[in-house]
Structure 1
Amino acid sequence: MAKCAICDKGAHFGKVVSHSRSQVSGRSNKMWKSNVKSVRIKVNGGTQKMYVCTSCLRDGKVERA
């Protein structure tokens, strides 16, 4: 899974609990994926292609090439 090169945000894992909350069979695995995009950004005077999350793009932590 891709991670953000700026803030290191990646996928999160947990459990999904059914509505009946049965202790035996009501839980299954779940993965929440972060909104990570592959973009070209300016790094040390050149351009480089990296994975950056949309919150870092919105906050202006990187400059697009």
Structure 2
Amino acid sequence: MARICAVCGKGPSTGNNVSHANNKTKRRWLPNLQTVRVLGADGQPTRIRVCTSCISAGKITKAPARKATAPGQG
């Protein structure tokens, strides 16, 4: 499962950790991805990984909450 937003395509970026002695080691910054249930093109809910900036911007339509089942029914 790739760490890429399904909406905007945002993925990991690279850079360096820099110590006080100016030693540099490679590192990665990962996007803040959340798995959300969204309505697909066919109207059925599916799960996709979306970055929080797309969720905040309203670029997705969340699926309605599932109905809770009564105790002992599920």
TM above 0.5? yes
Percentage identity across paired residues of the two chains: 36
SS at match of 1:55: helix
RMSD of aligned C-alpha atoms? 1.1
Structure with the bigger RCO (C-alpha within 8 Å, sep 6+) is 1
Q: Deviations over 1:11-64 (max 9, x none)?
A: 11111222232xxxx110111111100111011111111000001001100011
Gaps of 5+ in 2: 64-74
CA contact (8 A) 2:3 2:30 kept: no
TM-score scaled to structure 1, two decimals?
Answer: 0.83
Q: Which has the higher strand share?
A: 1
Gaps of 5+ in 1: none
TM-score scaled to structure 2, two decimals?
Answer: 0.74
Which has the larger Rg? 2
Which consecutive segments of 4 or more residues in structure 1 shift more than 6 A?
none
